[in-house]
Amino acid sequence: MMEFIYLLVPMFLFIMGVVIFVSNSKHLLSMLLSLEYIVLSLYFLLFIYLNYMNYECFFSMIFLVFSVCEGALGLSILVSMIRTHGNDYFQSFSVLQC
């Protein structure tokens, strides 16, 4: 029963992160924060699963490195968008513009 609760909490966190990501799509910064929340909940789920199955936690470190790289890439896109357009609204940004 306790193992089920340990797996249920990260799944609930993941679902709440997806709901926040879908419902709040006005600013790029809020979307990046919700994506980081989703990644952290997945890391928590992966860590609990690897500890429950008595596996090595080396893969969790690789996942953490990739999530940090993803966050840095998102912040660089945010900075370049603010420099070119002046804000982080999706309505003022068009992919078809040069």
Q: What is the per-residue pLDDT across 6-50, written as a single tens digit (0 to 9) for each?
A: 788 888 999 999 999 888 778 888 888 999 999 999 999 888 888
Question: What is the percent of the chain where pLDDT is above 90?
Answer: 31
**Domain residue extents for the chain:** 2-85
pLDDT band at residue 96 using 50, 70 and 90 as cut-offs: very low
Domain 2-85 has CATH 3.40.140.10: no
Helices within the chain (DSSP H only): 2-23, 28-52, 58-85
Greater confidence, 78 or 3? 78
Check residue 1 and give its pLDDT.
67
pTM of structure: 0.81
User: Structure tokens of 45?
Assistant: 């789920």
End-to-end CA distance of the chain: 56
Check residue 92 and give its pLDDT.
65
